[in-house]
Chain A
Amino acid sequence: MEYLLEVQNARKYFPIYAGGIIKRRYKICKAVDDVSFNVGANDCFGIAGESGSGKTTVAKLILLLEKLTSGKILFEGKDIQKLTPKEVLWYRSRVQTVFQDAGSSLSPRMRVIDIVSEPLEVHWKNGASRKAIQEKAAQVLNSVGLGPNILYRYPHELSGGQKQRVGIARSIVLEPSLVILDEPVSSLDVSIRAQILNLLADIQEERHLSYIIIAHDLAMLQQVTTHIAVMYLGKIVETGETQKVFSNPQHPYTKALLAAMPRPEPGRVKTTPALTGEIGNPIDPPPGCRFHPRCPFAHEECRRQTPSLIETETGHSVACNLVGVR
C-alpha cells in the first residue's frame, strides 16, 4: 500500500551552545530521535505527548521548516529533502498547516479575504484575475461557516472561533492533500471546540484530505483520529490504530496519561498510580528507555536497553522492554 506521507527514522538534533569562546562547546538536544510513521490517504493521524516531547518539531520537519539531521520523509513517494525549489513550491501547496494560536498567526493588517487570498496569489501562477481569486476565497470562507459579512473585517474584530475558522480556510484554499494542525482547539472554549472539530470532520469527508493533529488532549484525539502516536522525549512510545491503542494501551506512559486526564465523571476511582517526577530534559535524556526514571515498572534492563517498537497486535506497536518479553 502506498502511503501519502512516510516518515522514516527521522532525527532532529539541535546543537545547544554550552560555553567556550575560542573552542565552542555544544551539547546536543535530541528533540526528535528515530521517529517513523506513515499517514495514508484520508487518514487522521494524531500525535500526543506532553510539552517537550518533540511533537511540534515533527510537524516542522514535515513542513520543511526545519532540516532533518538524518532519516527521510517521503511525500507521495518523493524525498522532500531532495525537492528542487520549484518542487518545494508545489510541495507547499500540497501540505498546509493550521497553527495553535489563531490570533497571532493572522496578520493584524490584513482583512479576512486577503488572508485567504494570499496563498492563491502565490500559487496560482496562470494569471488568475484578482476577481477569480477573491471569489474562490469567499467560497472557501463560506464553506467554513464565515458569511459575506465577515470578509472585509480585520482579525481583531473576530472571536477566537472565527479566527480559527479563517486559519482553516487559509489552509484548505489550495486544496492540499495533507493539513497539519498543531493544537487546533486548545485555545478555544468547550462549545466552540466542538464546532471546530465537527467542521474539520466535515471538510475531510468532503475533500478527502489527510490530517495530522498534534494535541495533548487524549479524549479529543480518541474521538477524531484514525491513527495515533504517543511521544515521550523525542521518541514514539506507542502507535497504532486509535481504537486499538485506546482500548488496550500497553505502554506504562500511555496508561499513566490516560489515568492522569481529568474526566467529567464524579467519583471516578483511579486504578493506575499517578506518575511521579517531571518530563526529562532532551539535552541529556536518560540512558536506556527514556521513560524509566518515571516508570513504576522500570527494572535494571530499562536503564541500559533502549526499546524499539514491537508490534503487539496488527496495527498496534509499543516500545517497551516489558511488553513482548512475556
Chain B
Amino acid sequence: MVDKIDEALLEVRDLKTYFFTKAGIVKAVDGVSFSLQEGEALGLAGESGCGKSITCTSIVRLLPKPAGRIVGGQIIFEGEDILQKPESEMANIRGKKIGMILQDPLMSLNPVFTIGDQVGETFRLDNIRGALVRQKSIDVLNSVKIPSAAERLGSYPFQFSGGMRQRTAAAIAIARTPKLLIADEPTTSLDVTIQDQFLKLLKEMQKKNNMALILVTHDLGIVAEVCDRVAIMYAGRIVEIGSVRRVYENPLHPYTQALMQAIPRLNRKARRLFQIEGEPPNPARLPSGCYFHPRCFKAMDICRTEYPPVTLVNNDGYVACWLMQKEKT
C-alpha cells in the first residue's frame, strides 16, 4: 500500500475523511496513502473536489466540525500517530513542526493587526520576548525578501501587494522552522511573474531548512517546477504517485495520461485540445468500481464493478488501475 517505508518523516496510511451531511455521507478522502521523506517536495494534484485540500487539513487536524471526521487510517509524523494525540499536543505541532500556507493571504492574515504583530506572534508562542521578537521578525521577513522589512513591521496587510502578502504568510509559516510545510494552492491568486518569484522563494526556503513540502495545486506546470514526486488524485483517492519525471514522461493511469494531454502547451500547433469527456463525479454519489471508469476510454468490464488494487511501479510509486494488473499476469 505504501510506496516508500524506511524512516519517512510523514506517512499517511489509508486515510479516510468523511463528511456527514444531511444529504448523506461524502467520502472526501477515501483511503489515501503516501509517505514523505525529510526535505522532499510532494505535489498533490487533481481537479477541484478530488480531496487534495481535505487530505492536508486532515494532516493538521483542522477539519470543519462537526461535519468532517477522520474515520480511518493513520498519520504517522516523526514516528508517532498524530491522530491519537490530544488537541493540546496538536496545537504544539501546528506551526512548530508543520507549517501551512493557504490560498488567499487576505483571508489568512488578520486585517486589524500589523504585519509585525502577526509575524511576532509566532515567536511569542516560543516564549521569546522583547526586542528579540522584533529582530527575529525582521530576519524572517528579510528571508522572504520583503523590502525594507524593519519599516514594514508597522504596516497592515491591506497596504501590501498580493505577492508581499503571500510572502508574509510564508514568513509566518516558516518562522519556527517546521519540518513540514503544507502549501495549499499558494499562488492561485498571484500573477504569473509574481508566481514565478514566489515558487522560487519556496524552493529556496525548502532547501535551506531541509524542509519537506506538500504542495497542493491543480496546475501540473507548478508541480513540475517545484516537486520531486507527484500524487495525482481523483474522487478522494490517489490514482497514481511517483517521481515527477516518471509520471510526466511515462504516465500509467489513463486519467494521468488524459490530464497530461489536456494541458495547453507552448509550441504545439494543433488548435483542438485532447479532451476528457464528462465531469468529475459528485463525491456524494460515486460510481461503482473504479471512480474514473465512466470517463475512461480504456474501461473494461471489471472496472465497472470493482475498485482496482494498487500496482507498484519498479520502486517508483504506484498506480491504481486494472490495466496494470492485467499486464502483470
Contacts and interface: CB of A to CB of B under 8 A. Distances in A.
A279 interface: yes
A266 B266 contact: no
Nearest to B225: A262
15 contacts: A190-B220, A191-B276, A194-B274, A216-B192, A223-B265, A223-B270, A260-B196, A261-B221, A262-B195, A262-B219, A262-B224, A262-B225, A264-B221, A266-B244, A274-B200
Contacts of A159: 279
- A-B pairs, top 4 by smallest CB distance, nearest first, are A262-B221, A260-B196, A189-B47, A191-B276
B249 interface: yes
Nearest to B244: A266
Interface in B17-41: none
Nearest to B189: A51
B62 to A, nearest CB: 24
The number of chain A residues touching the other chain, given as a range, is 35 or more
B193 interface: yes
A197 B249 CA distance: 25
Given A193-B262, A278-B163, 14 more contacts: A159-B279, A190-B259, A190-B262, A197-B273, A201-B272, A217-B264, A246-B267, A258-B266, A259-B196, A260-B192, A262-B225, A264-B263, A266-B245, A278-B161
Interface in A147-196: 159-161, 189-195
A98 B271 CA distance: 20
A193 B275 CA distance: 8
B248 interface: yes
Interface in B120-178: 161, 163
B92 interface: no
Secondary structure type dominating chain A contacts: helix
* Interface range, B side: 35 or more
B275 A275 contact: no
Most central of B218, B248, B266 by chain A CB within 10 Å: B266
Nearest to A294: B193
Contacts, number: 128
Contacts of A131: none
Contacts of A279: 191, 193
Interface string A262-287: 11111110000011101100000000
Nearest to B276: A191
Nearest to A187: B48
A222 to B, nearest CB: 6
A265 B197 contact: no
A34 interface: no
A279 B225 CA distance: 23
B9 interface: no
Contacts of A278: 161, 163, 194
B85 interface: no
Given A191-B259, A198-B275, A267-B245, A223 B219 contact: no
Given A191-B262, A194-B276, A51 B221 contact: no
A68 interface: no
Contacts of A276: 197
Interface in A214-243: 216-220, 222-224
A44 to B, nearest CB: 9
Interface string B174-205: 00000000000000000111111101100000
B73 interface: no
Given A264-B248, A266-B249, A267-B245, A190 B266 contact: no
Contacts of B90: none
Contacts of B224: 262-266, 268
A220 B197 CA distance: 22
Contacts of A220: 264
B284 to A, nearest CB: 14
A219 B265 CA distance: 5
A64 interface: no
B280 interface: yes
A258 B245 CA distance: 22
A273 to B, nearest CB: 11
B82 interface: no
A190 B47 contact: yes
Given A50-B193, A198-B272, A192 B279 contact: yes
Interface in B239-261: 244-245, 248-249, 258-260
